[in-house]
């Protein structure tokens, strides 16, 4: 077992809902300090795991440790050092950013007025909302609301910050601004970014896991995982009607439309045959290889050498 005295350790966590859905099967992860990506399609179990870490629900079995805090049995200790930005959060539309942040700071226990003013000012500046602090939250754009959510989540300097699907509703410029904000946070705390968007992880995270149907398919450093696929991904531009036959013959990991044709990526250690060209793999290839069962844990792959940053 790797030890991360300040990180998060998850061991054999399972969860089955009352309706019979098994959302998590025996999940174990080592999450070190820094930005960690939890990547998986809708319904994979990401939110269930995030809510479990955030002490909002209990697992059926298993253990979680944040440093030396036992998450399941010491919920208050976790909550004191947790920042959680859920997928959707309500704001009071008639309050200004400054007023509501001040209110949340009181709830967080920052009762000294001067300390509170200093804290909220720093957070509004950090999230680039200082100029908008007097504006009502009801008029905020999606990106501004998300950044306000980060300001709230950062109150009290959390050691653990959880951000669940944060970029889903943002336009491209807002998304970049939001990711830049997150990238500055990861140095002294655990930041878990749960997302179905591969680019969020490839741009930000130094470590990641891929989850599907309640199981971890891959736990890796993105750069290593990409390097381990080198020479194994091939592409072919084809006709949609030819896809079923290709799927019979090859391990097709993805097929997407490109100018009305279908661009197929195939996993194969050797050249798959006529008409295929080699592809420089990226994290999307890692993701689809893992989802289609072509790509197991990185430690079982030949170690890639000389991964350049
Ligand atoms: P993700 O966040 O990756 O989309 P979730 O953790 O929300 O995945 O969901 C995992 C599975 O558990 C899905 O099949 C979902 O329908 C189911 N699920 C989630 N929450 C509940 C709940 N409160 N009761 C019953 N089933 C749930």
Model confidence pLDDT, tens digit, residues 87-116: 777 778 899 999 999 999 998 889 999 999
Q: Single out the residue of 1, 8, 13 nearest to residue 62, CA to CA.
A: 13
pLDDT at 62: 97
Looking at domain 1-89+156-219, what is its CATH homologous superfamily?
A: P-loop containing nucleotide triphosphate hydrolases (3.40.50.300)
Task: Determine the average pLDDT of the residues in 228-250.
Answer: 94
Distance 56 CA to ligand 1 centre (A): 14
Q: Would you say the CB of residue 21 lies under 6 angstroms from ligand 1?
A: yes
pLDDT in tens, 279-291: 999 999 999 999 9
Task: Report the pLDDT averaged over residues 79-94.
Answer: 85
Q: Where are the domains of the chain?
A: 1-89+156-219, 92-139, 226-300
In this prediction the pTM is 0.88
Q: Which residue has its alpha carbon closest to ligand 1 atom 16?
A: 43
**From ligand 1's centre to the CA of 42, what distance in Å?**
9
Q: What is the pLDDT of residues 124-150, one digit of tens each?
A: 998 889 999 999 999 998 888 888 998
The kind and range of the H/E element at 10 are strand 8-16
Please report which confidence band the pLDDT of residue 174 belongs to, taking 50, 70 and 90 as the band edges: confident
Is 303 exposed, middle or buried (CB count within 10 Å of its CB: 0-12, 13-18, 19+)?
exposed
**Which H or E run contains 116?**
helix 113-126
* Percentage of the chain modeled with pLDDT above 70: 94
- Dihedral sign computed on CA atoms, order 267, 168, 160, 180: positive
**Which tops the pLDDT comparison, 306 or 245?**
245
Say how many Å lie between the CA of residue 23 and the centre of ligand 1.
6
Strands 207-212, 190-195: pairing is unpaired
- How many Å from the N-terminal Cα to the C-terminal Cα in the chain? 27
């Amino acid at each position: 077992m790797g030890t991360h005295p300040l990180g998060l350790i998850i061991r054999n966590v399972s969860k089955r809902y009352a309706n019979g859905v098994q959302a998590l099967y025996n999940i174990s992860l080592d999450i070190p300090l820094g930005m960690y990506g939890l990547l998986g399609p809708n319904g994979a179990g990401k939110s269930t795991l995030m809510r479990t870490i955030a002490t909002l629900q209990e697992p059926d079995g298993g253990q979680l440790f944040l440093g030396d805090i036992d998450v399941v049995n010491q919920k208050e200790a976790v909550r004191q050092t947790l920042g959680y930005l859920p997928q959707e959060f309500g704001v009071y539309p008639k309050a200004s950013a400054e007023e509501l942040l001040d209110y949340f700071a009181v709830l967080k226990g920052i009762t000294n007025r001067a300390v509170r003013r200093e804290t909220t000012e720093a957070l509004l500046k950090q999230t680039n909302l200082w100029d908008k602090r007097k504006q009502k939250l009801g008029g905020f754009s999606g990106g501004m609301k998300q950044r306000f959510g980060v300001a709230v989540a950062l109150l009290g300097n959390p050691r653990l910050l959880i951000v669940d699907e944060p970029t889903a509703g943002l336009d491209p410029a807002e998304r970049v601004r939001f990711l830049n904000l997150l990238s500055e946070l990861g140095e002294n705390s655990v930041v878990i970014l749960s997302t179905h968007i591969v680019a969020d992880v490839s741009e930000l995270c130094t470590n990641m896991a891929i989850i599907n149907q309640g199981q971890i398919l891959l736990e890796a450093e993105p750069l290593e995982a990409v390097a381990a696929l080198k020479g194994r991904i091939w592409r072919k531009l084809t006709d949609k009607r030819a896809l079923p036959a290709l799927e019979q013959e090859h391990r097709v990991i993805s097929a997407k439309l490109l100018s009305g044709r279908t661009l197929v990526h195939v996993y194969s250690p050797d050249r798959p045959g006529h008409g295929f060209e080699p592809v420089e793999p990226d994290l999307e290839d890692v993701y689809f290889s893992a989802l289609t069962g072509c790509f197991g844990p990185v430690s079982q792959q030949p170690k890639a050498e000389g991964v350049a940053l």
